[in-house]
Amino acid sequence: MANGYHGVILRIDLTTREIRKEAVANAFYRTYMGGGAVGAYYLLKETTGTTDPMDPANIITIAPSVTTGPAVTGVSRCSVVSLSPLTGAVGEGQAGGSIGPMIKRAGIDAIVITGRSAKPCYLYVSSENIELRDASMLQGQSVSETFDRLSDELGNTKLSIIQCGPAGEKQVRFASLMVDRNNVVGRTGLGAVFGSKNLRAVAVRGDGNIDFANPEQLKSFNKLAKERLETAGFPGILKKSGTPGVFAIQAKNGNTATHNFSRSYHQDYIQLDAETIEKTISSGKATCFGCIVACRKRVSATTPYQFNDKLGGPEFETLSLLGSNLDIMNAAAVGKANEMCNEFGLDTITTGAMASYVMESMEKGVLLAEQNGGKTLHFGSPEDLFDLIRKIATRTGIGDILADGFKHAINTFGKATEHYAIHAKGQGLPAHMAQVKPSQALMYATCPIGGDHMSAEHDWFLNENDDLCRGLGIFGSGDAASTNLAKARMTAYSQHYYSLLDTLTLCMFMWGPGSLFSYRDLEDLLLYTTGWQCTLWELMKVGERKTNMMKQINAKRGFSRTDDVLPERLYQPLPDGPAKGKCVDRERFAEMLGHYYNLMGWDPETGNPSAGKLVELGLDWVL
Ligand code: SF4
């Protein structure tokens, strides 16, 4: 029966250069479905509690899902999972574009890579041919140069490329993976895993077919999307302006990282909002495979800073972390810094958090100019930011220390700098302020991949008698600022749903609660792609399973409740703006954490999955 997947996982050992296709049973797909859950499965099965993320024994999995491949809005993302060189815990990120559909069209459900190549290489995959090729000519080349070079060599029809940039080659611990021209697997330093394996890129030609259970019905989703887009709120903003469209909304409500997270409101926020971007640097937009929304903005400028639109423009998070958080309120300056991060292959969030750590440590006199060749770096200076990005990406001077992450930097520069390092488990915090959003405080502290804003719904979601909220089994009430049991339950349950979206590699912008598609649409998507009559209950358990597998990987590696912590700064009241006085309340937060562990079925002492929870989710093999 046509079911949307091939039953084939590609295994690559870069040390032995072995390439083999592993046949996988149907039951595996029904249990794990794809994306982050497949990646977590291989890490749990085949790495130990002491495997170093940079060791050849680490595994990196590139996985779409059972629903990937049809030309439907928001179903084209792809997940990458590995042990994170940045946090030492499990790492995961997703990107859009076309890499997921191309992998499926090459006749493969996921690519699982281990080992280390003796020489720089890239992996080429098509339905006829899979081989490891020499990549020495790509060494030191920028992301767009590598993209152009491989496209010239391989022809660009039906081709998708995922690559680390020069920063990944240098094993910068927060290096990203870049997908095609507009998409980034930004978080947890997975570009450094590519670098540690001497793997510069994976190029996939998707020239085959995928047999779906009901291809005709799949076409109905984009018709629905078109109709609903007319009246949709958030998807409409994305279509018009991309994620920069929410910058002004968040900023004027006092929810945007400012001056190294010490404030949440910047009086000049208008300089980075969507209208300013449109007037000053916008140069068009792009989309992911099959998506009618096309939210990926492209930007270019010649003055005051020069950059082109070969790669994607700054997203909301980048505008905050490379903009307001550094007091750089100039769209062209952020556009330039964004281009530099993309061309080097650096996560803009952790790069921005690292830059504000250095600038504030220097401002407060706990990090001396001598550590940077005699030069002090200042907030508000684009040139200082550009200089720092270059040094980090090339591991030059102070950049060599910063490239190894916050923990290494604090050990080197001294404990006095720790207060200015705003991270969770070593990963720079996103722009949404935990002082304003208690759900995000919970997620930043507990998320298995470190501080992340896309792992659960935000506080607005807890609405009494709202079908969206009740539909996920959430009940109780509380306003946006509440920290009660209902809020903890909302966070935990919506985390299952978001984890499911990452498992099915669906776009949260389109498939998240209240967006273009409903919970019932999701059941239909499974039916039309795989033929399975899934219920929302089954699907929520799939999401919960993935979160538990990731938490269990961390438990195996020695992580526990003592690692589920927030930076001290978040407990201090915000000094000004619409959120003046708000902070994470220490006692209430501890209480909320307790509720959350109980709701998740995790041991409140250790914060790790209980044996009962693992058995309930069919993960008894982990024990
Ligand atoms: S909404 Fe944006 S990120 Fe999501 S699939 Fe469409 S283009 Fe890609």
Give the integer Cα–Cα distance in Å for 310 and 322.
19
If you measure from the C-alpha of residue 77 to the centroid of ligand 1, how many angstroms do you get, rounded to a whole number? 9
Inside any domain, residue 221:
no
Q: 386 and 316, same structural domain?
A: yes
Q: 388 and 483, same structural domain?
A: no
Q: 282 and 198, same structural domain?
A: no
Q: 444 and 374, same structural domain?
A: no
CATH, residue 505 = 1.10.599.10
Kindly report, residue by residue over 457-512, the tens digit of the pLDDT.
999 999 877 899 999 999 888 888 999 999 999 999 999 999 999 999 999 999 99
Q: 123 and 264, same structural domain?
A: no
> Do the beta carbons of residue 129 and residue 155 sit within 8 Å?
no
User: What is the three-class DSSP state of 469?
Assistant: helix
> Do the beta carbons of residue 495 and residue 547 sit within 8 Å?
yes
Exposed, middle or buried: residue 279 (CB in 10 Å: 0-12, 13-18, 19+)?
Answer: exposed
Closest to 431 in 3D by CA, of 205, 251, 591: 251
Question: Does residue 61 register a pLDDT over 80?
Answer: yes
Atom of ligand 1 nearest to the CA of 235: 1
One-letter amino acid at 226 equals K
Number of domains in the chain: 3
Q: 442 and 403, same structural domain?
A: no
Q: 282 and 372, same structural domain?
A: yes
Q: 394 and 501, same structural domain?
A: no
Last residue of a domain, one of 205, 226, 259: 205
Exposed, middle or buried: residue 40 (CB in 10 Å: 0-12, 13-18, 19+)?
Answer: buried
CATH, residue 254 = 1.10.569.10
Whole-prediction pTM value?
Answer: 0.97
Q: 175 and 41, same structural domain?
A: yes
Q: 121 and 39, same structural domain?
A: yes
Ligand 1: residue whose CA is nearest its atom 8: 288
Inside any domain, residue 501:
yes
pLDDT tier for residue 400 given thresholds of 50, 70 and 90: very high
Q: How do 296-299 and 199-205 pair as beta strands?
A: unpaired
Q: Give residue 555's domain range.
A: 438-515+535-622
The mean per-residue pLDDT over the stretch 515-522 comes to: 96
**Other C-beta atoms lying within 10 Å of the C-beta of residue 55:** 14
Average pLDDT, the chain: 96
Alpha helices for 414-484 (secondary structure H): 438-446, 467-470
What pLDDT was estimated at residue 535? 97
What pLDDT was estimated at residue 1? 66
Atom of ligand 1 nearest to the CA of 74: 5
If you measure from the C-alpha of residue 249 to the centroid of ligand 1, how many angstroms do you get, rounded to a whole number? 20
Atom of ligand 1 nearest to the CA of 286: 7
If you measure from the C-alpha of residue 285 to the centroid of ligand 1, how many angstroms do you get, rounded to a whole number? 11
Ligand 1: residue whose CA is nearest its atom 5: 74
Last residue of a domain, one of 366, 385, 407: 407
Q: 394 and 249, same structural domain?
A: yes
Inside any domain, residue 45:
yes
Kindly report, residue by residue over 62-104, the tens digit of the pLDDT.
999 999 999 999 999 999 999 999 999 999 999 999 999 999 9
Inside any domain, residue 318:
yes
If you measure from the C-alpha of residue 553 to the centroid of ligand 1, how many angstroms do you get, rounded to a whole number? 30
Q: 448 and 388, same structural domain?
A: no
Inside any domain, residue 527:
no
Inside any domain, residue 432:
no
Among all chains, which residue has been given the structure tokens 């800073």? 305
Last residue of a domain, one of 407, 429, 446: 407
Lining ligand 1 with CB less than 6 A are: 74, 96, 238, 287-288, 291, 293-296, 507, 509-510
If you measure from the C-alpha of residue 614 to the centroid of ligand 1, how many angstroms do you get, rounded to a whole number? 33
Residue among 222, 293, 516 whose CB has most ligand 1 atoms within 8 A, to mutate: 293
If you measure from the C-alpha of residue 152 to the centroid of ligand 1, how many angstroms do you get, rounded to a whole number? 27
CATH, residue 27 = 3.60.9.10
If you measure from the C-alpha of residue 359 to the centroid of ligand 1, how many angstroms do you get, rounded to a whole number? 34
Inside any domain, residue 210:
no
Written as one string, the DSSP assignment of 531-565 is -----HHHHHHHHHHHHHHHHHHHHHTT--GGG--
Inside any domain, residue 224:
no
> Do the beta carbons of residue 185 and residue 179 sit within 8 Å?
yes
